[in-house]
Amino acid sequence: MSSRDPSCEPQAKKTLTHACAPSGFKNNFLEFFEIVDDDESACGTALNSGRSVWVPDTAASTIFVGTPALDVMLDAGSRAVASVPILSPRGRLIAMISTHHNRRQEWTNERKLKLEQLARSTGRLVHDLVPKAPLSRAIAPPANAHG
């Protein structure tokens, strides 16, 4: 994954903007997914459902098939993706972890459990360590929306 925090920060009205650029992705991928507010991405689907999303095969996923996001994902070499919400201890969305793979993935229960444990731990840490005001000021208003 990335050496930097691979999360998205929440915007008002269930919109996410990437707080930082994951390493390994080209600008067209980062620009396309800069703002996520619909169900045409794993991150957006997880945001709207409030649940983890596991895509073992991007090319065959109902989330991506027939959308412009599919071409962007395949162009970037993302053949599988998982998006897991990071929640505060009280259930407030703090961020999203999305992990991309260049091959189809079998999301075993063990792999799912590990990512969900990481999200829970991260949620507790962020809630306890990050002041609330700077987090909200770090979020810029959306310029446009893509999924």
Position 25 scores a pLDDT of: 81
pTM metric for this prediction: 0.74
Position 132 scores a pLDDT of: 63
Look at residue 145 and tell me if it is in a domain. no
Look at residue 126 and tell me if it is in a domain. yes
pLDDT in tens, 99-121: 999 999 999 999 999 999 999 99
Position 67 scores a pLDDT of: 94
Look at residue 146 and tell me if it is in a domain. no
Position 15 scores a pLDDT of: 55
Q: What are the residues facing 146 on neighbouring strands?
A: 36
The alpha-carbon radius of gyration of the chain (Å, integer) is: 14
Give the total number of structural domains in the chain. 1
Decide: 35 and 144 in contact? Cβ < 8 Å. yes
Residue ranges making up the domain that contains 40: 7-137
Helix (H) or strand (E) run with residue 115 in it: helix 109-129
Look at residue 147 and tell me if it is in a domain. no
Q: Which residues of the chain have pLDDT under 70?
A: 1-23, 131-147
CATH of the domain at 27: 3.30.450.40
Report how far apart, in Å, the C-alpha atoms of 26 and of each of 16, 22, 73, 77 are. 19, 10, 11, 10
Look at residue 12 and tell me if it is in a domain. yes
Position 30 scores a pLDDT of: 83
Look at residue 128 and tell me if it is in a domain. yes
Look at residue 121 and tell me if it is in a domain. yes
End-to-end CA separation in angstroms for the chain: 21
